[in-house]
Amino acid sequence: MPVHKIRRNLSPQAFELRAALVAEWRSPRADKSAEPVIYEVDPGADEPLWLYVVWSRWKDVSPTDRSDVILDAFEEIRGKEELVRIAAAIGLTPAEARAEGIAKMLGRDDEP
């Protein structure tokens, strides 16, 4: 049976978001109110990572595309080998993050 590997291309908007996310990941700003806010939830040795990115610019982006942007940005920064460690890559707007109680879930007091 032939194997068809189909990889969706990012939309121009998503491509732009990916570039912005890569820039933030490479050089995080000191300003704590700046977005995007990236949470890397790493439970430690040999367990998978969860990634949360809280960003107002997700507003018109579908959940699947948000995940693609995060995964592609992560791959660009850390490489394919590390990418396999990601169990979940979730993009949320600040309002969605509040509604989901993300700060509480991550054990943080500062609401995103």
Partner 1 sequence: MAPAAFGESVQDLELAARARLDDALTLRDRNRLIGAVYLLGYVAEMYLKVAVYRRLGARPNAQTRPLWRRARNEAERMELPRHLGQWDGGHGLMFWARLLWSLPSAEGTLDGRVRADLFRHVSRIERHWTIHLRYSPNQGGWQEAQIVYASVEWIRRRRFQLWR
The residue written with tokens 């700046």 in the block is 34
Report if residue 84 touches partner 1, rule: CB under 8 A.
yes
Distance CA 20, CA 12 (A): 13
Q: Could you tell me which stretch among 14-22, 28-36, 59-67 binds partner 1 (CB under 8 A)?
A: 59-67
Kindly give the pairing relationship between strand 49-54 and strand 86-92.
parallel
**Shortest Å distance, C-beta 94 to partner 1:** 14
Q: Does 18 engage in binding with partner 1 (CB under 8 A)?
A: no
Euclidean distance between CA atoms 32 and 3, whole angstroms: 46
Question: Site for partner 1 (CB under 8 A): which residue of 67, 73, 103, 112?
Answer: 67
